[in-house]
Every structure is written in C-alpha cells, then in structure tokens.
Structure 1
Amino acid sequence: MHDIVIRNGTIIDGTNTEPYLGEIAIDGDTIVAVGPPGTVAADGRREIDADGQIVTPGWVDMHTHYDAQATWDPYLTPAGWHGVTTVVMGNCGVGFAPAHTHSREWLIRLMEGVEDIPGAALTDGISWEWETFPEYLDALDRREFIADIGAQMPHGALRAYVMGDRSADGIEATPEEIRQMAALTEEALRAGALGFSTSRTPLHKSVDGDLVPGTSADSSELIGIAKGMAAAGHGVFECALHHPEVPESFGWLREVAGITQHPVVFNFNINDRHPDLWKDVLGLCEKAHDDGLAVHGQVSGRPVGILQCWDGTLNPFIGRPSFEALADLDRAARLTELLKPEVKAAILAEQHPDASEFLQFVLGSWDKMWAFVGDSDYEPDPLDSLAARAKRDGLSAASLAYDHLCTDGGNGLLYFPLMNYGEETLDPLREMHLHPLTRMGLADGGAHCGAICDGSMPTFMLSFWARDRSRGERMELPYVIHRQTQQTAEFYGLYDRGVLATGCRADVNVIDFENLNVDAPRMTWDLPTDAPRFVQHGIGYSYTIARGEITVENDKFTGALPGRLVRGPQHLS
C-alpha cells in the first residue's frame, strides 16, 4: 500500500510535454510511480480523486524575500497560499547574515527601505541566533516550514560585515577586503547557500536614503567574489541591475559567468524610458550563450505594479498637508474626514511639497493609473485609465482617484504599472517569457508589503497567461507550468524536484484549473507588531503536497510543516 495515490487527474509533469490522464503513487517524500491509468496497482492510505483537475509539480519560486519572515512564519505566506513548495530567498543583495551584533538595526533599515517590509515587524519578529552565514543556515535548519527554503549570500550584509563603517556605497574595497568577501562567500556556499546576490540599481535604498552597499562597487570586487563561488563549485550569481544600464553591465556579467561556470541572472524588466531596450538585451544574452556563458534575464509574470490606497505606502495624496494632518486618526475616523467635501477640496488643491521626480511620476501620472476592482485584469485597457476617464467624462483625474480610494469602506485600490507596461500591452512581456534565456521570477514574496502584491504570481501565471488573457495571445499551459517548476528548480541545481517523475521529490499540486484564481489584494495587519501588508490568496488548490505530506486541502492549511532548509544543489538519490 502506498502513502498517497492520486488518480484520474490530467498530469502536466513540468517538462513542457503534452498533458495526459494518469496517476501518481507517493511513498514517504518520493514519487514512486507515475503514468497512465493502470500504472499504480496498489491502493493508497490516502486516495485522491483528481477527476477534472490538473496535477502538476509544486512551484519553485526563485525570487523571494522571506529572509526574516522565515524566522517567525512557518507558512511563508503568501507562498503557502499559492502552491509553492520551494522558495529561494536572499535576492537583490539584502538579507540578515552575516551580521555583527551592532549592525542588526542597520540591516533592518536597509531591508525596510529596499523591500518595503515594516521595520517594526522586522525588529520584533527576527530571533537573532547567528552572526555568520553558516550560523544563519543552522538557525533555519532548526525550523519547520510549509515549503523548502534555500538561501543566498547577500552582498549588502557581506560588505557591511567585512568593511564595517567603510561599507557605504562609493567606498572601494581593498584587495584584502575583497579576499575576505570571496572567502566568506565560499564558506557560505559550502555550508549550503544556493548563490550570491547583489544590487546595482539606484532604486534600492535604505529608509535613510543610503544605497545598498556595493551598488557602484568596482567590477574587481564582483570578480573577486565570483572566484570564491568558483572555489565552492556551485551557486547562482543573482543581481538587480539598473535597467537602462544592463547593456553596459554585460562585460562583467560575462566575466562572472566565465569564472563561476554557473548561471548569472539579472532582473529583466521593461522601462518606460527605454521601451525597446529589452530586444537588445535578449541579443546580448544570445551572444553570451553562443560563447558558452550562462547569462539569463529574470522576468516577471505581469507588470511590476504599485498598488495605492489610504493604508498603503503610497497614494496620490501623500505629503499633501491636509492629508498628512489626518495621519494620527484611526482608520474609521480618517475615512469620516476624507468623505467630507471640504476635506477633499483642501487635499485636491494641494501638492506634495517635497516630492522627488520619481514620486511625482508615480503619484501623478494619471494616464498610467487605473482603478483596481476585484480581481481586475493586470493588463488594463488604456481607455479605462484615470486620465482617459476624466477626459471622456469631463472630470478631474485626481478627483476620480480620490473617490475610488474611498470606495469599499476606504479600501479602494489604484493600480500603477511601474514597469513592463509602457506600450500598454503585455505582448513584449510574453515574448520575453517565450525566450529560452529568460527565467520566471520577481514575484518578491515576503516583500513590498505596502505597495506591491505580486507574491501571488505563481497562481496568476496559470489563470491569466494560460486561460484568461483577452487582449492578446496566451501561453500554453504546459509551458507556463514548466516555467516555474523544472526551469526554476534546475536553474538553482535542484534536480530532485520540479518534475513529476519516478524518484523525484513528492512536491505536487492538484488544481481545479477552471476555477483557479487570485482574490483581490487586501491590506491586513498580521505581521509582528500588527504591521500592515497587502495579501492576495489563491483559489483552486485542491491539494498541495510537499515532501509527500498534504499541506493544503481545498485552499486551507492542514497544519503539516514538512519543509526544510535546502543546503546546496540537490540530485536524485
């Protein structure tokens, strides 16, 4: 008798091959049989009838920021709500190890600024049990999770650990400091880190306005760290680049790939000011591939969209004196004030006195802002933008925005696609996804709590791209599944998962595909210290199985926590 048998489902095995009706047998944490009806003769202690549903590998999300949350939330939400069975964290050069005791608060302020995670929640929630990166891994190894977790060495924390007060961006590391960073990176990888990450974008700043250490570091520092990775023999080199500067970064990207002989991946988005640059970047990836260098772009499943609301990090009226005067009121009292015509008139008549050029762009570009209702299409029609509606109806776009924010009991949302939507279509993004040298990522689970809610992207990829898209071509369902299973798993050397095959890890989703969806983003106050974050649940996960244990049944947690720390590459036994 097997532990679990899944029958009558449509198996989409993660390899981008044709679906077929079949069945799967699981013993312990391993798939022991998979094939067409009749493959599994023995019964299961737990029989799952997947009739009318699809059966897939669990999602492997390669771009998350659960570095702190993993120390207090075993369910790794939102990942746990969306069929994710493995997460990779420590991206974009920020994290919490290695860390001297005196630098802990600084690392929190860095993470708060870069990833918009409330500092109070981090301060209250993190149980500091480490100094070195191997000690951080050991602390994680003592915990249980709903999914497996893998960690990367973050450049910001590493530089601060080695250089101390000299780690600020703009100060070059000495040759000896570079040797130390290389040695510590090698140590981290040998202890089980899956890679190293860095940030090179001016958008990544601490709450104090300081760039992530190493943002403009000389390429010799990155090359030195790459040599440490090469000595360890494995590891992905992940970097957040400044999008207009991606082509000029390819010199050192290629050099790093040549040294490590392992994948290099950069955040690959489309910037409004350089709408066609992505085509050139794909060409550079192709040239690197032709030269035997594994340089890849990591692309998002939808626009990098900022959600704005009264309770979020941003709304079009922040900084205006009459709005800021309401800051100390509770939510109900504030809404009462906001609904008063005289308060609205006062706020609309003002401007943010100190808004940067970037803030002015995000808060006042009405042609790039939409009212977000329900599970709204993430490919909104230009004719429905606030600017278009205002022009059509003879109204003020600012007034329309204000009124919508007041809907739904003051929970109204505005959607601002910051990247990947300059042409007001997702056709370019689709083309990027279809390219063999890109990988699916950038969901940022655990981060951007008050402005971005993309941790639901693994679910969205199926419901939108394989079923619901109406303004352009879709993608085939087996390919979408392949993008976030076999492709992402193998990218990080996790060859024991991401595919439904005999001998592979029993990480499985049974999905009611016809009804699969994401609900509307909603602000909640469920972080430590009751700090706020946007959440968006998945709908349609009949079962999620991780390491052979059912962790989700009918969209509800079962309480099982089979997930563990993953140390280094994983191969079939």
Structure 2
Amino acid sequence: MFDLLIVGGTLVDGTGSPRRLADVAITDRRVAAIGDLRGQPAHRTIDASGRVVAPGFIDLHTHYDAQAFWDPTLSPSPLHGVTTVVGGNCGFTIAPLSDDPADGAYLTRMLARVEGIPLETLQLGVPFDWRSTSEYLDRLDGTLSVNAGFMVGHSALRRVVMGAEALERAATAAEITAMCELLADGLRAGALGFSSSWSRTHNDAEGGRVPSRVATRDEVLALCAVCRDFPGTSLEFIPHVTASFDEEILDLMAAMSVAAQRPLNWNVLPVTAGTAGDAAAKLAAGSHAARRGGRVVALTAPMTTALRLSFHSGFMLDAIPGWADVLWLPHDEKLRALADPSVRAALLAGAASADNPLPHITDWDRKEILEVFDPALRRVVGRSAAELAAEAGTTAFDALLDVVVADDLRTTFGSVVEESESDWTARARVWRDPRAVVGASDAGAHLDLFASFQYTTVLLAQGVREHGVISLEEGVAMLTSVPADLYGLVGRGRLTAGAWADIVILDPATVGAGPVHTRFDLPGGAGRLYAEATGIDRVLVGGVDIVVDGEFTAARAGHLLRGGRDTRTVALV
C-alpha cells in the first residue's frame, strides 16, 4: 500500500519532456511509481484533476541563513512552489564564528548592512550559539519546512582567522592555510561549497570593504582548491558587474573553477531588450572559462526587479555623496533633518554630483509612491512625485520628502517598471543558454528594497502563460532539473521513480504572484516585503504537505542538505 497517491493530474516531470496524464505514488518520502495507478491502495489520496503536478522548485541563491531561526517555513518562498534552497551566498555567512564576541558582532552588522536585514531583527532572532559550520548546520537540521543547504562564506572565514585585520591587508601564507583548514572543516560537515564576493557594492556597516574584497587572487584560488577534495561541492561568486567583465574578472572566475574543478555560478544577470548585448557579453565568461577547462554559469533573474527605496533604511540611497551623514542619523534626528530645507538642498547637491554612483535612482520626477502607512496619505499611492509637485506648487524632491516626513519615514517609492514583449523574448534566449541558470532570488535579504523571491511564479505566469516565450515544460525544467543539475542535487529536480517526493500541484491558468506589500512580522517588529502566490494548490516536501491552499502547515519536512551525501560532483564538461 502506498503512503500517498496523487491521481488525475497532468505530470510535467521536470525533464522538459511533454506533459502527460499520470498518477504519482509516494512511499517512504520518495516517488514509488508513476503511471495509471487508479484503484491502487493508498493511505491517503489527493485528487489533482485539472492541475499540473511538477517537481518542487529549487532556488540556488538565497540568504535565509538567519531567518531560518525565527521562521522555519522560510517564507514566502514555499508559497511560490520552492521546496529546496541554497543559502550562504556572496561570502556572507554567520558561521563559522570565533570566540571573540567582536567578530560575531561585526558579522551581524555586516549582514545587516550588506543584505538589508534589520540589525535588531538579527540580534533578537538569531541565537549565535555555535562556533563551527558543523554546529551551525546541526542547529538547523530537522527544523525547516523545506530542504536547505549552505555554503561557507569567505568573509566569515577571513574574520575568524584575521580578526579586525581582515579589513585592512592581505593574508599571510599561514593565515591562508588557516582559512583553508576552516573551510575544509565546514565542507567535511556537509556545507555545499565556497562563496565569495569582489562586488564594489558590498560594503560593511562602517562603509569599508567587506573582508572578502580585501583578499588577493592567490587567497581566493587557494580556498577554491579546497573544494576539489570534497565531493559534491560548488562555487558561488559575486564579481563587480558592469556592462561587461574586464579581463581580471574573466580570468579570476575561470581560474576559480579550474582550481576547484567545480562549476562556479555568479550573480546576477538581469536582461531586457535594451541590455541584451550586455548580457551576451557577460555570458561570454562561460565560454572564456570553458576554453581554460572550467565552467562558469550566470544566475539570471527572470524579471526586472523594481527597487523600493526608503528613507527609513536608507539602503542604496546612502551611497549618494553626503547622504550617509543624514541617513545614518537616529530616527528622530533624521526626521527633523529631512524636513529642513537646507538639508534637502545639500542632499540634492550630492545627488547632482558627478561622483553619484547611482544617477538612475535620483530621477525624482519619475519616482512613484509605492506604499504608505499613514491612512491619511493613501491618496498619494500610485502617484508620481512630479504629479504631487505640480499639485503642491513645489519640486518633485520636496513633494516626495513631504510625504516621507508625514509618513514617519516609512514610505516606499521607486520608478515604475515597464516591460515589453521584446524584453521577455530577450530573456528567453538567455534562459535557454547553457551558460545561464534561472535563479538569483536573494530571498531572505534586502527585505525592504526589492522583491524577487516570487520569481518562480512570475516565470510561469508571465514567461509561460502571458507572453508564451517558453513552454510550460521548459519553464518547469528551468526551475527544477536545471538548477538541481548545476549543484548535483541527488534525487531532486525531476519526478521519476526513486526521486524524493518534492512536489508542486498548480493551476497553470492562474499560477502567479500576488501584489507585493509590507508585512511587519520580523523580530523586533520591523517590516519586510512579502507576496502570496496564486494558483499554487499544494506544496509537498518528501511527500509531506508544507503548503495547502496558500497556508503553511506545521510540518517541518525539510532535509538539511549535506555536500557529498545529498549532492554529487558535477563534471565541468
């Protein structure tokens, strides 16, 4: 007798093969049989008539490392069909830790700054009662709704070995050896690989470079080489992304892959019709690596992500010259400063400076009010700063700040994203390119800046149903078997006999993402962006319901994925 029988559904199995009517039987958390199983005995039966039955979606780039301690569901990703996540990306992990409390405090502040997680939330929600990566993984084992694996982060390794000097200088040979030994300990415990960043946007709470950015090429390659000794490991890296890669970054990523003899994925490759040429140039990093015996793959977001800016957090805005002095003030002082005409004039001068690295976010006329929290201000939602300025007889910047001050700084605003059919066509070409993998959600990070945790349902709703640039079978494979194969996940990403029973039951006619809104449920009461899904009837992990009709169950059915046990080594060719 089967434990569970899913009958009457249309199977899209994740391989890219044509859909077909088929029942799915589950026993001992795995797929026991697929076919016409009507009338077979089972302890429980789910009627999936009129629905698609697909493998659970796999999100390779998340930052759920901290959230896992206060939210074991890892919401909202499972609402959007995600059953497996990988954390510990960008070199930003909260393990290992040293015995020096200053190092843990530094990593907490760094994570708050660079990943946009409120500091109070981290301090209240994360116990930090481990030292090694092994202890960190053990703390999470058996506690989560979904399957989760974690990388070992370069910045944490550097801080543990070098202390405060990790921010100041190159490591000695002895220090590199110590980092390699610490990384090996983490990989031996089951971490999935090594992650690092050289991105110039990755700065710590004091405004300086995060530790991994201080590392030399030799240090990075030495750490990558450690992965060669551990089966089932991978590399993840954040280069400084401009219109194209310079030779230094091209050569570094190729050399990292060759040193480790493992695939390297880099984040992130956005694509529109207007940037298709830039995307093609960046994908060439994969060809460059292949010629040198490595494998480099871009993670690409399947939609344009609208930035939701806020003077409350000040994230990104504080990179404008002179703005950090105001945006890092205590709340009440900042509120008074932003109401002061002289302060506003100084901020405008900084935004107009030739040194402003973000001119695309200071086009005040085009900024639209996205969300307010004072009911008296609801009339301004959806209106542009230019409209409000014309109505009030002031400038767009003043009109925007008048709303922000009246809303106690909580207002979110941004530029309206307009997408064309040609944008989706350009993206589909990249999705099909073997040098790219759909992903890059950043779920669990940048909690008030942007929402891309729902990329799975957006892909199916817009890429498949609305624009038709890919088939449903292609879309499901891009969310399942393709990422599973990049990380060598064993028994996941396809619904075949013997595979883990990670399953999504969805309605292809209605699957999609609901509106993005702010939800105040973080430790300490801070808010985060959130969106429910539509058309996702049920999500199962190991044959156990974790989401039913858009609601989480109490089940904690996820596996803590361990490198070499739950992953296999992926060939470079």
Measure the CA separation in 1 of the matches of 2:86 and 2:121: 21
Question: What pairs with 1:30-109 in structure 2 (closer than 5 Å)?
Answer: 30-35=30-35, 38-39=36-37, 41-101=39-99, 102=101, 103-109=103-109
Point out the more displaced range, 118-127 or 281-290.
281-290
Q: CA deviation at 1:15?
A: 1.0
Aligned-pair identity in percent equals 28
Higher mean C-alpha displacement, 155-164 vs 355-364: 355-364
Name the aligned partner's letter for residue 543 of structure 1. R
2:264 aligns to what?
264
1:247–1:284 Cα contact (<8 Å) kept: no
Equivalent pairs, count: 546
Deviation at 1:304, TM superposition (A): 3.8
Q: Which residue of 1 aligns with 2:454?
A: 456
Partners in 2 of 1:58 and 1:481 — Cα distance? 9
- Are positions 1:126 and 2:121 aligned together? no
Q: Deviations over 1:38-70 (max 9, x none)?
A: 245413322111122111111111000011111
| CA 1:363–1:291: 2 relative to 1, 3 Å | closer
TM-score, normalising length from structure 2? 0.84
Residues 85 and 147, structure 1, Cα contact 8 Å, conserved in 2 = yes
Residues 11 and 31 (structure 1 numbering): CA distance in 2 closer, same or farther, change over 3 Å? same
Distance 1:367 1:20, change over 3 A: farther
The one-letter amino acid of 1:508's match is I
Whole-angstrom distance in 1 between the partners of 2:163 and 2:416:
38
SS in 2 for 1:520: coil
Letter in 1 for 2:136: Y
Hey, what does 2:217 align to over in structure 1?
Answer: 219
Displacement after TM superposition at 1:550 (Å) = 0.7
- Name the residue aligned to 1:380: none
Q: CA deviation at 1:27?
A: 1.1
Query: Do the aligned partners of 1:320 and 1:351 also contact (CA within 8 Å) in 2?
Result: no
2:507 to 496, 512, 530: 512
Q: How does 1:232-381 map to 2 (within 5 A)?
A: 232-244=230-242, 246-248=245-247, 249-270=249-270, 276-289=277-290, 291-308=292-309, 313=314, 327-328=331-332, 351-352=347-348, 357-358=355-356, 361=359, 363-366=361-364, 369=367
Change (3 A) 1:163 1:297: same
1-structure distance, mates of 2:179, 2:420: 39
Cα shift at 1:423? 12
Q: Which shifted more, 144-153 or 535-544?
A: 535-544
Find the counterpart in structure 2 of residue 208 from structure 1.
206
Evaluate the alpha carbon distance shift between residue 423 and residue 8 of structure 1 in structure 2; reply closer, same or farther with a 3 A threshold: closer
Does residue 1:478 correspond to 2:477, yes or no? no
- Whole-angstrom CA distance in 1 between matches of 2:175 and 2:314: 37
Q: How does 1:154-193 map to 2 (within 5 A)?
A: 154-168=153-167, 170-193=168-191
1:271–1:47 CA distance, 2 compared to 1 (3 A)? closer
Q: Alignment partner of 1:92: what SS?
A: helix
2:377 paired residue number: none
Residue 521 in structure 1 maps to residue 516 in structure 2: yes
SS at match of 2:68: helix
Change (3 A) 1:405 1:41: farther
Show the counterpart of 2:226. Answer: 228
Whether the 8 Å contact between 1:58 and 1:85 is mirrored in structure 2 is yes
- Report if the CA contact (8 A) 1:247-1:281 is conserved: no
2:133 and 2:317 mapped to 1: Cα distance?
41
Q: Describe the superposition over 1:97-155 as per-residue Cα deviations: whole angstroms up to 9, x where unpaired.
A: 111142111000110111000011101111122111112112222x4111011010000
CA contact (8 A) 1:114 1:204 kept: yes
Amino acid corresponding to residue 230 of structure 1 in structure 2: R
Matches within 5 A, 1:352-501: 352=348, 357-358=355-356, 361=359, 363-366=361-364, 369=367, 397-398=396-397, 413-416=412-415, 425-469=423-467, 474-501=469-496
Distance in structure 1 (CA, Å) of the matches to 2:174 and 2:414: 47
Q: How far is the alpha carbon of 1:28 from its aligned partner? A: 2.2
- SS of 2:177's partner is helix
Q: Which amino acid aligns with 1:16?
A: G
Matches within 5 A, 1:20-39: 20-35=20-35, 38-39=36-37
SS in 2 for 1:3: strand
Q: Is the 8 A contact 2:5 2:46 kept in 1?
A: yes
Match of 2:557 in 1: 562
CA gap of 1:270–1:6, structure 2 versus 1, over 3 A, is closer
Instruction: Pick closer, same or farther for the CA change 1:39–1:125 going to 2, 3 Å.
Output: same
CA contact (8 A) 1:57 1:508 kept: yes
Q: 1:289 Cα shift?
A: 2.9
**How far apart are residue 432 of structure 1 and its match?**
2.1
CA shift digits 1:325-349 (9 cap, x unpaired):
99549xxxx9xx9xxxxx7999987
Please give the secondary structure, in 2, of the residue aligned with 1:124.
helix
> Structure 1 residue 392: deviation in Å?
12
1:19 is aligned to 2:14: no
C-alpha displacement of 1:415: 3.4
TM-aligned CA deviation for residue 452 of structure 1: 1.4
CA contact (8 A) 2:254 2:288 kept: no
Question: Per the alignment, do residues 129 and 40 of structure 1 end up closer, same or farther by CA in structure 2, a change over 3 Å counting?
Answer: farther
Q: Over aligned residue pairs, what C-alpha RMSD do you find?
A: 3.9
Q: Could you tell me which amino acid in structure 1 is paired with residue 290 of structure 2?
A: H
Give the Å deviation of 1:256. 1.9
Q: Distance in 2 between matches of 1:239 and 1:429?
A: 22
Name the CA distance, whole Å, in 1 between partners of 2:45 and 2:281.
51
Residue 487 of structure 2 contacts residue 567 of structure 2 at CA under 8 Å; is this kept in 1? Answer: no
Instruction: Provide the rounded CA distance (Å) in 2 between the counterparts of 1:274 and 1:555.
Output: 36
**Which amino acid letter does the alignment assign opposite residue 512 of structure 1?**
D
Which runs of 5 or more residues in structure 2 are unaligned? Answer: 373-381, 569-573
SS for the counterpart of 1:567 is coil
Bigger Cα displacement from structure 2, 542-551 vs 406-415: 406-415
Displacement of 1:511: 0.8
Local SS of the residue matching 1:34: strand
Q: Measured at CA, do residues 223 and 399 of structure 1 come closer, stay the same or move farther in structure 2, by a change above 3 Å?
A: same
Change in CA separation of 1:324 and 1:164 when aligned onto 2, cut-off 3 Å: closer
Structure 1 residue ranges, 4+ long, deviating more than 4 angstroms after superposition: 270-275, 309-327, 343-350, 352-360, 366-374, 384-413, 420-424
C-alpha distance in 1 between matches for 2:342 and 2:165: 47
CA drift at 1:408: 12
**Structure 2 CA distance for aligned equivalents of residues 463 and 426 of structure 1:** 12
Question: Does the 8 A contact of 2:166 with 2:214 survive in 1?
Answer: no
Tell me if the contact between 2:263 and 2:297 (Cα under 8 Å) persists in the aligned partners: yes
Query: What is the aligned partner in structure 2 of residue 10 from structure 1?
Result: 10
- Residue 366 of structure 1: CA displacement? 4.5
Partner in structure 1 of residue 151 of structure 2: 152
Q: TM-score, normalised by structure 1?
A: 0.84
For the residues of structure 2 that align with 1:489 and 1:118, how far apart are their CA atoms?
31
- Using the alignment, how far apart are the partners of 1:6 and 1:454 within structure 2? 30
Question: Cα distance, 1:251 vs. partner?
Answer: 1.1
Is residue 405–residue 414 contact of structure 1 (8 Å, CA) maintained in 2? Answer: no
- In 1: Cα distance, 2:185 partner to 2:330 partner: 51
Q: What residue identity is the alignment partner of 1:491?
A: L
Deviation at 1:274, TM superposition (A): 8.1
CA distance 1:350–1:238, change in 2 (3 Å)? same
Contact 2:14 2:477 in 1 (8 A): yes
How far did residue 567 of structure 1 move?
Answer: 0.8
Q: Distance in 2 between the 1:427 and 1:397 partners?
A: 35
Taking a change above 3 Å as real, the CA distance of residues 346 and 354 of structure 1, as seen in their structure-2 partners, is: closer
| Aligned mates of 2:422, 2:210 — CA distance in 1 | 31
Structure 1 residues 440 and 535 mapped into 2: Cα distance closer, same or farther (>3 Å)?
A: same
CA distance in 1, matches of 2:197, 2:22: 44
